[in-house]
Amino acid sequence: TQLLEQSPQFLSIQEGENLTVYCNSSSVFSSLQWYRQEPGEGPVLLVTVVTGGEVKKLKRLTFQFGDARKDSSLHITAAQPGDTGLYLCAGLNNAGNMLTFGGGTRLMVKP
């Protein structure tokens, strides 16, 4: 069983601050996906990273896939209250048939 450790579990910050969420594993993944989930809704895909060392940017969000494809990070610059939500990382195994989720990071950005 592949495991993904996501940290921190909870994060409460002020508007304008920067933050980083980490997703770590001892397993290699073929790709890693980041989702954001609002209460009462399904996870919404933010980005997929596939290549070791890959960096993708989505406005103020920067996603990085580790060189060995075992870990990933999400960095948010100048957080806004609209960034509040549950952030989930998920790794797809090499066979491509199973997506394993981290435990999630619940982010609150206060105005």
Partner 1 sequence: DAGITQSPRHKVTETGTPVTLRCHQTENHRYMYWYRQDPGHGLRLIHYSYGVKDTDKGEVSDGYSVSRSKTEDFLLTLESATSSQTSVYFCAIRKAGNTIYFGEGSWLTVV
Q: Which stretch binds partner 1 (CB under 8 A): 14-22, 54-62, 68-76, 91-99?
A: 91-99
Nearer to partner 1, 61 or 88 (CB): 88
Q: Fill in the DSSP letter of residue 59.
A: T
Tokens 């999630």 map to which residue?
Answer: 104
Q: Are 30 and 96 within 8 A, CB to CB?
A: yes
105: contact with partner 1 by CB under 8 A: no
Q: Are 30 and 49 within 8 A, CB to CB?
A: no
Q: At closest approach, how far in Å is the CB of 100 from partner 1?
A: 8
Query: Which residues inside 43-72 make contact with partner 1, applying CB under 8 A?
Result: 43-45, 48, 50
DSSP line for 12-49: EEETT--EEEEEE-SS--SEEEEEEE-TTS--EEEEEE
23: contact with partner 1 by CB under 8 A: no
Residues that bind partner 1 (CB under 8 A): 1, 30-31, 33, 35, 40-45, 48, 50, 88, 90, 92, 96-104
